[in-house]
Structures are given as C-alpha cells and as structure tokens.
Amino acid sequence: MAAKIPPTKGNLMKIKKSLELAKVGYELLDRKRNILIRETMGMIDCAKDIRERINESYRLAYEALAKANMSLGVVDDFASFVPIENGLSVSSRSVMGVEIPTVTLEAEKTDNYFGFMRTNARLDEAYKRFNEAKILTAELAQTENGIYRLATGIKKAQKRANSLKNIIIPRFEEQVKSISSALDEKEREEFSRLKVIKSYIDE
C-alpha cells in the first residue's frame, strides 16, 4: 500500500527521481552480484586445483620424513632448529567493494638446511617438501578466505537488490501512479469548473 503523500507536482517529481535512482541502484547491485559470482567461480576452481596439489604435496612430505626417520632415527631433535615462520604477510585487494586477502610467503633457502655434520640429504628433502606444503597451505587459506568473503558480498548484494526490486521500486511506482491519478482528477475538476464559469460568462 502506497504511503500517504500529498498529491502535488513537487512530490511527484521527487518520487519519480527517487524511482529512477532506485532502478539505477538495482542495476548496479545486479551487476555487482554477477561480477562477484564470476570471481567466486574462478576462485572455487582455483581452490579445487590447490587442494589436489596440497594433498600430493603432504603425501610426498610425509614420505620424505619417513625416509629421514629410517636413515637417521627419529628426527624430532632437529625440529628445534627450524625457525618460526615470520615471512608471512597479508594484504588485500578490492573486488566491487569486497576486500579479498592476499597472502604472501617469503621464499626460504631449503637446500642443505641442516648442514652435513649430523644429517643427510633425506632430512633436507623432507624439509623442502614440507616447505612446499606450507606455501600451498598459505595459498589455499588465501583462496578459501576469499571465497567466503565473496559469498558474503554476494549475499548482501542479493538482499539489497531484492529489497529494491520487490519493495522499494514497487512502492515508488505505486506512489507515482497514485499521485498522477490524483493530479489528473484535480485537472479534470479544474477544467470542469472553468467550463462552467465560462458558460456563465458567455450567457
């Protein structure tokens, strides 16, 4: 039901302008939603590829670790020599107003990491493999977080677009129709009065 607004030409012009803005807003939100959906689909394909690679990467890493354990005994003591990861940085890029994280992981030297004295190449190979898995894990975290944020952006855009399409625009259209009808009725009444006055004058 249209809101009770005085049927004046000024109000009609204001509502028509609001209606046009609402239609433009709906078109922009619909376009934004479509762009976000395309971006999401691309990232979903990317995440699928990374998951496949990460599974293989961890398989090779644990296989290399098992070989290192067999050749050196349990290598837990050497784990304390591995530095805490401080090369991870997170920034962001904007896709239609949605902030997507960008994860950067600085490359580390992995060849002959533990030296030659107490270890062998198999431990270096295990470290190299786990480093590769770590890089893929950071890449997957970036991609999956991006998918989540894009999905949230799509949901918000869809909700606002639906509100404009199903509530705001129909309300403005009904108000335009109602005020236009009232103004037309006033013009007919005014025309009838003028006609009656003219007939009196002509008599």
Helices and strands per DSSP (H, E), number in the chain: 4, 2
At 113-153, the pLDDT tens digits run 555 566 677 888 888 888 889 999 999 999 999 999 999 99
Examine the pLDDT at 191 and tell me if it is beyond 70.
no
Provide the whole-model pTM.
0.74
pLDDT tens, position by position, 59-105:
999 999 898 888 877 777 776 677 777 778 888 898 888 999 888 88
The DSSP string of 45-113 is HHHHHHHHHHHHHHHHHHHHHHHHHHHHS--HHHHTTSPP---EEEEEEEETTEEEEEEEE-----TTT
- The pLDDT > 90 percentage for the chain reads 48
pLDDT band at 109 (very low <50, low <70, confident <90, very high): low
Rounded CA separation 183/6 (Å)? 10
Residue 203 pLDDT exceeds 80: no
